[in-house]
Structures are given as C-alpha cells and as structure tokens.
Amino acid sequence: MDWVGRPVLVTGCTGLVGSWLTQALIERGAHVVGLVRDGVTANHFTRAGLSQHMTIVAGDLSEISRLERIINEYEIDTLFHLAAQAIVPLAYRNPLSTFETNIRGTYLLLEACHRNPVVKRIVLASSDKAYGDQAVLPYTEDAPLKGAYPYDVAKTCADLLAQSYWKTYQLPVCITRCANIFGGGDLQWSRLIPKTIRNALFETAPTIRSDGTFQRDYLYVKNIVDGYLLLAERMDELKCYGEAFNFGMERPYTVIEMVETILSRWGRRT
C-alpha cells in the first residue's frame, strides 16, 4: 500500500501519538487532514511545524454533519481515530466530558463513515485499560472487556462500538489496545514518565501515587506509530476487519523500576 497522495484523516492529530503519526504520514507523502478543536502550543505538533504540510479543519467530534463534510470533501480513504480525553485523573473528576468525547464522539464518527463509504480503512485507538481488571495476565485480545472506572469504561464502550459497526455494517475498522505510552512532546505531567523526567531536570524529589509496586507495560510513541501504519497497510491483505490488536513490549515494569531507571540517567538516586 502506497501512502503517496492518499487522503488520510487523523483525529487527535495534535496529541502525543497523533502528532508523531501525522509526521510519519507527511514524510510518506500522504495528504493528511487533521481535525483540531483547540489551539496548541509547546508540543511536538507545533514544534515540528506540521500544520504547514497538511490540511487543518477546525472543529471536534460533536457534529456528525461536520464529520460527513470532511469525509466527503476530502475524499478520505484512510482514517486514524485518536481524538479522546486521554487523562485518567481528569476522567475521574469530570466523567461527562470524557463520555461525550470518547463514546459519543466515536459513535458519531463511525456513523459518518458508515453513511459515506469512501473510507476504505479505519484504525481506532482503544487502550489496554478497556480490559479492566483481569484474573489472568498477561491478557490477550480475546479477554473480555470490562472497564469499571470512567476512563476505562469510555475505552471499553468505544472499542465495542467499533466491533459493532464491523459486525453489523461491515465497516472496515481495526482496533488498537496500547500499553502506557511515552515519548517526545508529552507534556501531561500527571503521567509518570514525563513527570519523573521533569523532577530530575529540576532536581526535585519524584512523587509516586502508590506503593510503587504496580506494574504496567510501557511503549515508545514511535513504535506505536510504526504499528498503526503497518496495521493500516495490511488490513486489506489480512482481512482482519473488526479485530483488535494489543500493542506492547510484553515486559512490564513497576513504578519504582521506571522511576529508578529515569533518575539513573541523570546520575541521581531515589
């Protein structure tokens, strides 16, 4: 599959994964259309000057008529749906905005694609949090989705909506469930890795919100981008529509291990 000249819509193009994915698509010659709700500063999207090499459409996922217009006007062939409220503590404080964006925004976008079948492939970003608490680890793609808290529930719902649109309408969608993401341009200081890096730079004590033994898998943002592109490129060949794919390194780290590893790069100790 050749990306040159291919019209691609990226929702959430200014976010951590979205900005690196947008850059990779631009480098491959795609005609990238980005849906942007808010102005952004000091992140990778802005620093890389990506807006100069793509089409920006102002708006969000709240209006299906706008989504349909974008799909039709730009004859979108491939869609990466990354737009979401991605901060877990914010979902706890304000679940309604998370549900509006992550659930309603997803079903409006899927319906817009259903109504306008110019879209040949959709990659939808879910999360490993959609699995909720599992008795058997590591979880595999056939594990039940049972998110319990607001952010997790929103991801579970979006995931199931995508599966439903494939099973009901044969909408060509695949789902990615990613582990914890880190990489350049992440300015969400509530996340462990950028927060600990900032602690090291400013020589302040790291903060850990638990006993430090909780384990998660961590995945570098460029590895995720490679996975997204490969999945989109192989969807037609593999006929894997409606399926979900776990993205991770299969090597979990405790919070303490991550903090100690980061601080050791600066010659500091916990």
Show which residues are catalytic: 151
Taking alpha carbons only, the member of 30, 40, 15, 16 closest to residue 79 is: 30
Amino acid at 85: Q
Dihedral sign from CA coordinates of 45, 187, 8, 100: negative
Taking alpha carbons only, the member of 39, 154, 175, 32 closest to residue 101 is: 154
* 125 three-state secondary structure: strand
Residue 64: in which H helix or E strand, if any? helix 64-73
Cβ pair 154, 103 in contact under 8 A: yes
Taking alpha carbons only, the member of 110, 114, 102, 108 closest to residue 155 is: 102
Query: What does the block give as tokens for 46?
Result: 């802005």
Taking alpha carbons only, the member of 91, 61, 79 closest to residue 124 is: 79
Residue 138: cis peptide before it, omega within 30 degrees of 0: yes
Helix axes 105-115, 64-73, angle to 10 degrees: 40
